[in-house]
Amino acid sequence: MKEQLNKVMQRNQLVDMMYIAKNGEITKRRIKVTNVSDDKFNAYCFLKHANRVFFIDNVLALVPVIRKEREVI
C-alpha cells in the first residue's frame, strides 16, 4: 500500500479511498496525497475540505480517479 501511495503522490493523482477509522466506521473519501511517512500519510481530503493525516494500515482500497472529457453531442 505504501508503494501505491508513493506512486499516486509522484503522479499528482486524485484517488478514491476506502478507509476505516479508529471507531470502526468505514468511509469513502477522495484525496490528494501530499506526504508519505513510515506508517502515516498526509492528504487533502475533499470530503472534509481539509488536510488530514491517515494511517496506512487503515486504508482498505485505493482507486485512481480517471477523468473523461465530456462528449460533444
41 is written with which cell numbers?
Answer: 500519510
Domain boundaries, the chain: 1-64
What architecture (CATH level 2) is domain 1-64?
A: Roll (2.30)
Strand partners, 19: 27, 59
Give the three-class secondary structure for 56.
helix
Helical residues (DSSP H) of 1-73, grouped into ranges: 2-10
How confident is the model over 26-71, as pLDDT tens digits?
Answer: 999 999 999 999 999 999 999 999 999 999 999 999 999 987 655 5
The model carries a pTM of 0.83
